[in-house]
Chain A
């Protein structure tokens, strides 16, 4: 590895030593604690809320309900359909009915018990197909039906495509509810400001500007009255977006009521019950191929369980439609996806965002098609996979960036010794009664950033100090992914200095412009570009100031390298520090705003056609595993992951993203499922919701591919989400390779391997007997 790129995380010291304050660590004078009362039913009318008894308890300072929300009652990133406090109706078991502010969390518990809510239970729907029936009641009054969204995509003529196919395969896949399981649960402190109707909100908030919109709307005040200050984050994975807006609103209403700071920290159980999950999908794929392995047509029909609220369902399902047919050239495509309302926990953004589901299905399908054609899945992928200039399902020509799908596949195959292993395992499996070994591959393409979801622009401040040290602050937020380090590195590179000269300022909506949400693996690509532009503006101003000192005839002769500013013509040089000092005394503004707006994209919603994203990334992963056919236990001995990142600006961070994403993908494929029974979650803590531990997988081999992208800072683009979307299908294919039979539902748990299906359980802690 290139040592110079092995940079130290700039917020590492405070996090490793425990000095970093997370929201739960923060205290304010006269601060109260808040807690939420949630619905007793998955669907119910709220007839009356009586909290007089709660107010009589010593130490209870306020109880609030929907009535106390001073502005609009709803929030929503796409449509305002989400009530932070249930108004008239509770739509799922996590809906907040009331909240209390008390002198301690213990008193909160007692206060919640003293609140009497009268409900009228309503018929609830937990099954998407039930919800779609004409006779089913409409769950959300503001919609015409329980079908909340529908995205079609039409290309060519599928019927003709199937006619010219030699093999047609139809398969149905199902995926599960999944929990983000970030290490830090949700936390917020709302502090009444000094000025009238102003509030400061501290919190574990992934998208501070999005949260500000929701709080301002519900508090009935202009955006400027709300300041969102992000505390250090213990992970988000997409899960601290609108869920945190909901919590911030609840805390803020309590703060208004009591006129005191109010802190609310969810327990793990509350975190799991209250906030959104990954969408479970039902996917029906029909594929037609010719004898020589060329895909002729694909028809895809998908249903996504949106739960009780819309949240990000439109954007999540839209990404699914764009990428549903995978990184393959298909002339004839017909794809439809529907987002369905139920009374289940609501679903929203989660690392991958509509891609893990489709890739699980489509990459499993590719292997099965290949098997039927008598070829290896790799061969089928090589025939149909995207190459330079290929056309996507939405008729976008892939150009202007390196289409590196084949490169990713070749590299991961080489590293894993895929073909030799297949032969080895055949021999091993023939001898072994108990253990079966298998190897499986999957690959993907992914649109970077928001694409045609909406406005895609962001900013950053680069502020050089007179001594050459630097402040950086960007509109996108550090959620644990390493953004501060990557952004600092980008700025440091512009000035030719070490990253340790940079400090990252606290994230505060009062100090930086709204640069959109920290989502869609867009930070390095978008925010990084803004940082770079800002740094370049300052660099050019410094150049102008030192031109005389360096006796440069042209600004182009001045370069910034190794902590020095050099005139390359006459070799005259000064320290970067000195150059900053000169610029400072020269009266130059050595602070600048960089602003980056993404290239235009377009989508025709009627037919699902258009250039959806301005650039793409490609990746391929391989799982090599052992199945204990006697117990059903699967162990991934080796995982290989090749990803084109454009440019690995923060190399250590790049590896970290790959390790984390691969393991999270293993959890998705093998262990994790939020067990929702009649709208209530049964496994509400991490003793029963199984994320993989360090003992549950073998080696991970990251392969970093770098084909610089013209739109990214120094060529860097997206990595966070591609890493999680591939492992479940690689595992599924490896299990098929090992056992000679296929599975169509994840997670592939112990029972699936032994009995062929998941078994429904009503389990209690301490005993599964």
Chain B
């Protein structure tokens, strides 16, 4: 067990003020479903960390709302809150599926979307969905100084991200373009059906026009050090009719693009063929093509 000092403030202003004064990195905690485990096992990731700042009491970070361009999600929203939210269900069903696949009910009641992003695990479940929806993050330094990152750019590698030591994640915003007609899918594989870290996931959404794919994004999870769109497969599919053989070919491209990047590892003989199949299953599901 690693021991730490605990801080919590009533207002956002005080919270940012506190952050500003710190010489070293402070761990920001909201749900704690990842962080407490790291503290409990005195993880090397926590070297030089001796302070924890709890933001879970700040109501401003728990809001979900929309305007004409964006849906805004407070980082302290729990997975359960997202699953139950009408706006998210309407526009971003793949994010709902991703949240539903996390841990177990208790984890989902406690864990937050902001935590899932900032923890920046390669197997974070909400991240492929957020990347596929082109989500952006608002980072707050002062109450006025704000940096904005795309989620895919924010995460730099396993457990590494752009967050500065005097900064906190303030808001996740997702553009609403074409949301009405989009098709969505989130497909996940774990060793168990609950309480299981993702082995492979595939998240995608697409827009059809005259039976042809007008726009498509495909983002795999738990296979790359950082999250990204499968550009090659997306370009290949754009303008084509979503037929089984076309999707099969696109799935091969997904697997190829991923494993060209990561190279051969202990798990590659398994993960490569399975990623291909998972991508195929996800795409077929999205375009409502039956496979048995």
Contacts and interface: CB of A to CB of B under 8 A. Distances in A.
A696 B194 CA distance: 8
A692 B41 contact: no
A330 interface: no
Nearest to A758: B270
A751 B270 contact: yes
B97 to A, nearest CB: 15
B279 to A, nearest CB: 11
A693 B195 contact: yes
A631 B192 CA distance: 12
B196 interface: yes
Nearest to A697: B193
A261 B37 CA distance: 30
Interface centre among B119, B225, B270, B291 (most CB of A within 10 A): B270
A631 B189 contact: yes
B197 A766 contact: yes
Contacts of A433: 291-292
B37 A765 contact: yes
Interface in B176-194: 189, 191-194
Interface centre among B104, B192, B222 (most CB of A within 10 A): B192
B192 A766 contact: no
Contacts, number: 97
Interface in A664-704: 671, 686-687, 690, 692-696
Contacts of A431: 292
Interface in B113-129: 119, 121-123
A754 B191 CA distance: 13
A4 interface: no
Given A106-B1, A435-B292, A765-B197, A754 B192 contact: no
A769 B224 contact: yes
A759 B264 CA distance: 13
Interface string A420-457: 00000000000111110000000000000000000000
B291 A633 contact: no
A384 B75 CA distance: 65
Contacts of A690: 191-192, 196
B277 interface: yes
Q: What does DSSP make chain B's interface, helix, strand, loop or mixed?
A: loop
Nearest to A633: B189
B3 interface: yes
Interface string B100-138: 000010000000000000010111000000000000000
A606 interface: no
A693 B193 contact: yes
Contacts of B277: 434, 630-631
Interface residues on B, range: 35 or more
Contacts of B196: 690
A555 B17 CA distance: 89
B1 A109 contact: yes
Given A671-B191, A695-B192, A767 B266 contact: no
Contacts of A751: 267, 269-270
Contact of B122 (A630, A696, A754, A767): A767
A755 interface: yes
Contacts of B119: 766
A454 to B, nearest CB: 40
A761 B271 CA distance: 13
Given A750-B270, A761-B266, A769 B194 contact: no
A157 to B, nearest CB: 46
A687 B38 CA distance: 13
Contact of B191 (A434, A694, A695, A749): A749
B191 A750 contact: yes
Nearest to A762: B266
A106 B3 contact: yes
B267 A767 contact: no
Contacts of A269: 41
A630 B292 CA distance: 11
A754 B270 contact: yes
A670 to B, nearest CB: 9
A468 interface: no
Nearest to A688: B197
Nearest to A692: B192
A767 B222 contact: yes
Contacts of B53: none
B13 interface: no
Contact of A696 (B34, B192, B223, B273): B192
Interface in A735-768: 749-751, 754-755, 759-762, 765-768
B193 A696 contact: yes
Contact of B274 (A631, A671, A694): A631
A766 B159 contact: yes
A631 B191 contact: no
A61 B219 CA distance: 56
Given A767-B158, A769-B222, A760 B292 contact: no
A434 B270 contact: no
B139 interface: no
Interface centre among A106, A432, A769 (most CB of B within 10 A): A769
A506 interface: no
B123 A760 contact: no
B39 to A, nearest CB: 12
A632 interface: yes
Contact of A693 (B192, B266, B281): B192
Nearest to B42: A109
Given A431-B292, A751-B270, A695 B121 contact: no
B192 A671 contact: yes
B204 interface: no
Contacts of A767: 121-123, 158, 197, 222
B239 to A, nearest CB: 27
B270 to A, nearest CB: 5
Interface of A: 106, 109, 269, 431-435, 630-633, 671, 686-687, 690, 692-696, 749-751, 754-755, 759-762, 765-769
Given A434-B291, A761-B266, 11 more contacts: A671-B192, A687-B195, A695-B192, A696-B192, A750-B199, A750-B274, A759-B267, A765-B197, A767-B158, A769-B123, A769-B262
- Return the 8 tightest CB-CB contacts between A and B, nearest first: A630-B277, A695-B193, A766-B121, A769-B122, A695-B194, A693-B194, A432-B292, A751-B270
11 contacts: A106-B1, A434-B277, A630-B277, A690-B191, A751-B270, A754-B270, A759-B269, A759-B270, A766-B123, A766-B159, A769-B267
